[in-house]
Amino acid sequence: MLEQNISTVNNDVKTLVKDAQALFTAATALTGEKADELRGRGMKALDTALAKAHEAQASAIAGAKQAAASTDAYVKENPWRSIAVAAGVGLLVGVILGRK
């Protein structure tokens, strides 16, 4: 779910940045009040993109902290099982790398 949210936010940010770029490009060809309006809309779009990026970053950090806390709690409750899993993963990686 976190990956889906991050992907959605990334797509939203890319779209907002492209829209802002298009608005700024259009604003360079215009003068006066219309150009000011387009520049204002472009700045608003960039501000929205920045806010979405910060939101995604905060969400990712919160998810990572929660995963780290869960992992820490599991390891403290099951130390021997954690050691066995780590050894198994190490063995598997060693076998895979040894074949190449």
pTM check: above 0.75: no
Computed over its alpha carbons, how large is the radius of gyration of the chain?
A: 24
Instruction: Determine the length of the chain.
Output: 100
Check whether 17 has a pLDDT greater than 70: yes
Per-residue pLDDT of 65-95, as tens digits, reads 999 999 999 999 999 999 999 999 999 999 9
CA distance linking residue 48 with residue 38, whole number of Å: 15
CA distance linking residue 76 with residue 52, whole number of Å: 36
Q: What's the burial of 26, exposed, middle or buried (CB within 10 Å: 0-12/13-18/19+)?
A: middle
15 three-class SS: helix
Give the max Cα distance, the chain.
Answer: 72
Check whether 11 has a pLDDT greater than 80: no
